[in-house]
């Protein structure tokens, strides 16, 4: 009798505590239906062989030359654009950090604005500036630098790195500046009073202290370049074979393959790559905070 009473109170306690978590319900529903469910569907589809059979043939095709080449190109683009923007952005952030408060907040605001610009308009802007007939190219030509004659073209990997820098450098300034706020002036004073040179300060104090935060920021840039789609599509129209562009043409039916679920396999491949990058991002963030 008592045990039954206990059971009912526990049950009603469970129900009312479930009722208390109601504020989490709308978020969870939207998240499950519009995020988890589509992701589950891609994984399931990528393994679907038709007629109720499941297997790996889409992945086998993914590991053939053309698609591996697309992954290699995407990784190359992400690596070089993250590294370029990361190094330049870190230097800019360092100089901004040492400036007056007014300049600091102006740069912070501009970075926030520029880091958000991307997509098709950005691609068109660069076509107007760095295209074969673009303003900057014409000016450089008049000055005697024929960059297109020297082999540069905007519609290439180099061109994409240039365009991505426009939002990646501000993004780097934005995410790297907080790490600089943790630096102490006393460190430099200690270095100087112990007879250390500027170079020694940078080499033995600044770089080791800031490296984890730098790595985390660069990994974030890497992930953002890896999944970028709109700018690359508008700029190259597909002449640079990046994985997101290949998936895009598979969805649009521009590329015919007898493996109907190749797109799903590539999509899962992208999730895996970017998952690994974000995992390392998490590690380096923890490393940076541990100091």
* Smallest distance from other proteins to CB 247, Å: 5
| Other CB atoms within 10 A of residue 135 CB | 11
Residue 83 or residue 271: which is nearer to other proteins going by CB?
271
Residue 42 or residue 47: which is nearer to other proteins going by CB?
42
* Smallest distance from other proteins to CB 49, Å: 16
Residue 157 or residue 271: which is nearer to other proteins going by CB?
271
* Smallest distance from other proteins to CB 129, Å: 4
* Smallest distance from other proteins to CB 266, Å: 8
Partners of 50 in the β-ladder: 53
* Smallest distance from other proteins to CB 4, Å: 29
Distance, CA of 163 to CA of 153 (rounded, Å): 12
Residue 63 or residue 95: which is nearer to other proteins going by CB?
95
Residue 5 or residue 20: which is nearer to other proteins going by CB?
20
């Amino acid at each position: 009798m008592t045990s039954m009473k206990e059971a009912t109170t526990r049950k009603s306690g469970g129900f009312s505590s479930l009722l208390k978590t109601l504020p989490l319900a709308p978020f969870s529903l939207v998240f499950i239906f519009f995020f988890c469910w589509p992701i589950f569907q891609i994984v399931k589809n990528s393994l679907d062989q038709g007629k109720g059979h499941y297997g790996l043939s889409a992945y086998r095709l993914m590991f053939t030359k053309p698609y591996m080449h697309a992954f290699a190109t995407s990784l190359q683009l992400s690596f070089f654009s993250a590294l370029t923007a990361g190094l330049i952005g870190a230097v800019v952030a360092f100089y901004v950090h040492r400036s007056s408060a007014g300049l600091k907040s102006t740069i912070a605001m501009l970075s926030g604005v520029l880091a958000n610009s991307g997509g098709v308009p950005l691609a068109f802007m660069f076509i107007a500036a760095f295209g074969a007939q673009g303003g900057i190219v014409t000016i450089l030509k008049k000055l005697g630098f024929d960059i297109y004659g020297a082999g540069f073209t905007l519609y290439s990997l180099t061109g994409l790195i240039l365009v991505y820098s426009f939002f990646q450098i501000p993004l780097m300034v934005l995410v790297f500046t907080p790490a600089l706020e943790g630096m102490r002036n006393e460190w430099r004073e200690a270095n100087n009073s112990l007879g250390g040179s500027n170079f020694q300060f940078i080499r033995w104090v600044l770089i080791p202290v800031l490296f984890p935060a730098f790595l985390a920021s660069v990994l974030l840039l890497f992930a953002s370049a890896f999944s970028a789609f709109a700018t690359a599509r508008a700029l190259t129209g597909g002449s640079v074979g990046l994985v997101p562009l290949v998936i895009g043409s598979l969805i649009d039916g521009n590329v015919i393959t007898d493996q109907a679920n190749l797109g799903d396999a590539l999509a899962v491949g992208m999730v895996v790559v970017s998952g690994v990058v974000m995992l390392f991002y998490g590690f380096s963030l923890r490393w940076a905070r541990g100091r």
